[in-house]
Amino acid sequence: MSKSTTDSINSVLRVGDKAPDFVLTTEKGKKWRLSEQFGKVTALLFYPKSETLVCNRQMCSVRDNWADYLKAKANVIGISSGTIEELLNFSQRHRLPVTLLADAGREITKIYCKYWLPVQLTRAVVIIDARGIIRQRQIMLRVFRPPDKSILTSIHAARTEFMYEHYHHILNESREKNKHLLQ
């Protein structure tokens, strides 16, 4: 883990913070790095354990609404404490289109889902914009699951905010470049 990642362990991440980088392994055995996803909104769906009632419902609901997630143009990633083999079996059994990451020691979950309750009692949704800034962080008891509509709304909000900031940056550059014409 990098210094910035270990610093994050000691503090609670907040909306507006830079998302700490991390590398985990997918259910297919490939390395996945958060910083390589920048340029596109990323939705991290932390769930406690595969093949449990609420987690099955959550991930199958993502599958059932996958067309809406594709339209949102975001990386949608499930993160669980299971092993690579458990995640692969879970993904295949339920025909999940979403990439699943194995966080067996819950090290990344502890960083992103730090809360007053132990992480094994919670699930979370973290939306990261295209620049790597946390735009939404919702932590809930594991017996609840986030509605897809709420996740999709947060993804769209993160995309819109990024586009708005990008537009203003371009506008300001253009004004600066052409200020002699405006005089």
Range of the domain at 45: 3-182
User: How far is the C-alpha of 157 from the C-alpha of 159, rounded, in Å?
Assistant: 5
Find the CATH number of the domain harbouring 115: 3.40.30.10
What are the residue numbers of the active site?
A: 55
CA angle 164, 129, 107 (to 5 degrees): 165
Per-residue confidence (pLDDT) for residue 61, from 0 to 100: 86
DSSP per residue, 49-87:
-TTSHHHHHHHHHHHHTHHHHHHHT-EEEEEESS-HHHH
Q: Please check whether residue 24 is in contact with residue 108, taking contact to mean a CB–CB distance below 8 angstroms.
A: yes
Query: Tell me, what's the pLDDT at 109?
Result: 87
Question: What's the domain count of the chain?
Answer: 1
**Predicted local confidence at residue 104, as pLDDT:** 87
Beta-carbon contacts of 49 under 8 Å, excluding residues fewer than 6 positions away, are 55, 80, 81, 82
CB 21 within 8 A of CB 44: no
User: Could you give the maximum distance between any two Cα atoms of the chain, in Å?
Assistant: 67
Report pLDDT digits (tens) over 137-158.
887 665 556 777 888 888 888 8
3-state SS of the chain: helix, strand, coil percent to 5?
Answer: 45, 20, 35
pLDDT at 135: 93
- Give the per-residue pLDDT at 151: 86
For residue 92, what pLDDT is reported?
A: 95
pTM for the model stands at: 0.77
What are the residue ranges in the chain where pLDDT is below 70? 1-11, 49-56, 115-122, 140-145, 161-175, 178-183
